[in-house]
Amino acid sequence: MNPHKIIAMKKLHLLFLLLVLSLGAIAQSKDEKAVAAAVETLKKAMIDGDRAALNEIAAEKISYGHSSGKVENKTEFVEAIASGKSDFVTMNTSEQEVTVDGNVALVRHILNADIKDGGVANTIKLKILLVWHKEKGQWKLLARQAVKLT
């Protein structure tokens, strides 16, 4: 076979491979953006104590873990926030990383928040892992685990 044809075929194969990879990256970034938007929706619902929004974004089988080791189900999580028992006054995140694999997304970030737990003001700084699951086209929070920064 002609060496020029071999080189041309290799270039064509490389171009095709790059096209396929770039299309995958575009699709991935759309999901990553959607998950990041879901995180912002969650933050707003938690600050506002919005019961309806919390119920909407949380999966039915959510496992919501606190840095103290306490774990709440959906009813407990929503009630604690919506009732004001756990009141997020401010909430800021940094160093956020979003990883999407099919219908599952992992989000890691640092959470800085001013809270009132049982009326007692406190400032917290935690590492957070959020696990999201895509259900019927919507990203739902399936799990959350917080750990204290050392």
pLDDT tens-digit readout, 25-84:
455 589 999 999 999 999 999 999 999 999 999 999 999 999 999 999 999 999 999 999
In the Cβ-directed half-sphere of 91, how many Cα atoms lie within 13 Å?
A: 20
Residue 54 lies in a domain: yes
Residue 111 lies in a domain: yes
Residue 12 lies in a domain: no
Residue with the two structure tokens 């929503």: 78
Q: Residues of 122-150 as b/e, b for ≥16 C-beta within 10 angstroms? A: eebebbbebbbbbeeeebbbbbbbbeeee
Q: What's the predicted TM-score (pTM) here?
A: 0.79
Which CATH number is 130's domain given?
Answer: 3.10.450.50
- Asked if 110 and 104 touch (Cβ cutoff 8 Å), the reply is no
Residue 56 lies in a domain: yes
Residue 22 lies in a domain: no
Residue range 89-139, pLDDT digits in tens: 999 999 999 999 999 999 999 999 999 988 899 999 999 999 999 999 999
Q: Which residues pair with 116 in a beta bridge?
A: 87, 121
Range of the domain at 64: 30-148
Residue 86 lies in a domain: yes
